[in-house]
A and B are shown apart, each in its own frame.
Chain A
Amino acid sequence: MTQTIKQQLSSPGGWLQFLIKYNTIFIFVLLVIFSAFISDVFFTSVNLSNLLKQVSGIGIISIGMLIVILTGGIDLSVGSMVALLAVTFAILVNLVILPLAILGTIVIGFALGSIAGYLVAYQKMAPFIATLALMTIARGLGFIYSNGSPIIFETKGGLFMSNFANNSTLGIPNIAIVFFIIVIGAMVMLKHNVFGRLVIAIGSNEEASRLSGIKVNKYKFLVYAISGALAATAAIIVASRTNLGSPNMGVAWELDAIAAVVIGGASLNGGKGTAINTLMGVLILGLISNILNLLNVPSYPQQVVKGGIIVFAVLLQRFENK
Chain B
Amino acid sequence: MQNLEHEYRLEMSGISKSFGVVSVLKNVNLKVKPGEIHALLGENGAGKSTLIKILSGVHQKDNGTVLLNGKEINPKNTHDGQVLGISVVFQELSLVNDLSVAENIYLHKLGSSQFWMNWKEITQNAQELIDSLGFKIDASATVRNLSIVQKQVVEIAKALSEDTKVLVLDEPTTVFDPTDTKKLLDNLFKLRDKGISIIYISHHLEEVFKIADTITVLRDGVDTGSVSTKETNTDDVIKMMIGRELKDLYPTRTAKIGANPVFEVKNLTAKDNLVHDVSFDVKPGEVLGIAGLGGSGRTEMAKLIFGVDKKKSGTLLLEGKEIKTSSPVEAVSHKIGFVSEDRKEEGVFLPMSIRKNISVTNFNFISNPFGFLKRDKEQKNVTELIEKLNIKTPSSEIEVKNLSGGNQQKVALAKWLSIDSKVIIIDEPTRGVDVGAKIEIYNLINEVAEKGVGVIVISSDMPEIMGIADRIQVMHTGTIYGELPKEKFSEENILRYAIGKPLKELSI
Contacts and interface: CB of A to CB of B under 8 A. Distances in A.
B358 to A, nearest CB: 10
Contacts of A195: 371
A117 interface: no
Nearest to A271: B351
B92 interface: no
A41 B340 CA distance: 60
A209 B359 CA distance: 12
A215 interface: yes
Given A209-B360, A210-B308, A211-B306, A204 B328 contact: no
Interface in A162-207: 192-195, 197-198, 200-201, 204-205, 207
A209 B345 CA distance: 10
A21 interface: no
Interface string B344-383: 0111111110001001110100010011110100000000
Interface string A202-226: 0011011111111100000000000
* A interface SS class: helix
* B interface SS class: mixed
A47 B332 CA distance: 55
A201 B349 CA distance: 7
Interface residues of A, number: 21
Contacts of B373: 192-194, 197
Contact of A213 (B331, B350, B351, B370): B331
A272 interface: yes
A212 B415 contact: yes
B324 to A, nearest CB: 14
A204 B351 contact: yes
Contacts of B347: 208, 211
B338 interface: yes
Nearest to B340: A211
Given A192-B373, A194-B373, A211 B350 contact: no
Given A193-B372, A197-B373, A212-B332, A204 B352 contact: yes
B333 interface: yes
B451 to A, nearest CB: 20
B83 interface: no
A179 B329 CA distance: 36
Contacts of A207: 345-346
A209 B338 CA distance: 12
A217 to B, nearest CB: 9
A266 to B, nearest CB: 12
A195 B373 CA distance: 10
A205 B348 CA distance: 8
Contacts of B348: 205, 208
A290 B101 CA distance: 59
Query: Which of A205, A209, A211, A214 is the most central at the interface, judged by chain B CB atoms within 10 Å of its CB?
Result: A211
A212 B350 CA distance: 14
Kindly state the interface size class of chain B when it binds its partner. 20 to 34
Contacts of B349: 201, 204-205, 208-209, 271
B83 to A, nearest CB: 30
A202 B363 CA distance: 15
A263 to B, nearest CB: 20
Contact of B352 (A193, A194, A200, A215): A200
Given A193-B373, A207-B345, A209-B360, A215 B351 contact: no
Interface string B313-346: 0000000000000001101110000101000011
Given A193-B371, A194-B373, A212 B351 contact: no
A207 B361 CA distance: 14
Nearest to B339: A211
Nearest to B367: A194
A271 B375 CA distance: 20
A208 B346 contact: yes
Given A194-B373, A197-B359, A213 B367 contact: no
A208 B339 CA distance: 10
A214 B360 contact: yes
Given A208-B346, A213-B329, A214-B329, A201 B352 contact: yes
A207 B341 CA distance: 13
Nearest to A272: B351
A193 B329 CA distance: 20
Query: Which of A192, A198, A210, A213 is the most central at the interface, judged by chain B CB atoms within 10 Å of its CB?
Result: A213
Contacts of B375: 192
Given A193-B371, A205-B345, A212 B361 contact: yes
22 contacts: A192-B375, A193-B367, A193-B373, A194-B371, A194-B372, A194-B373, A197-B359, A197-B363, A197-B373, A198-B360, A198-B363, A201-B360, A204-B351, A211-B306, A211-B308, A211-B340, A211-B346, A212-B415, A213-B331, A213-B333, A215-B329, A271-B351
Interface of B: 306, 308, 328-329, 331-333, 338, 340, 345-352, 356, 359-361, 363, 367, 370-373, 375, 415
Closest 10 CB pairs of A and B: A213-B332, A194-B371, A207-B346, A193-B371, A194-B363, A205-B349, A204-B349, A212-B360, A213-B328, A213-B329
Given A204-B351, A209-B360, A271-B349, 19 more contacts: A192-B373, A194-B371, A194-B373, A195-B371, A197-B363, A201-B349, A204-B352, A205-B346, A205-B348, A205-B349, A208-B346, A208-B348, A208-B349, A212-B332, A212-B361, A212-B415, A213-B361, A271-B352, A272-B351
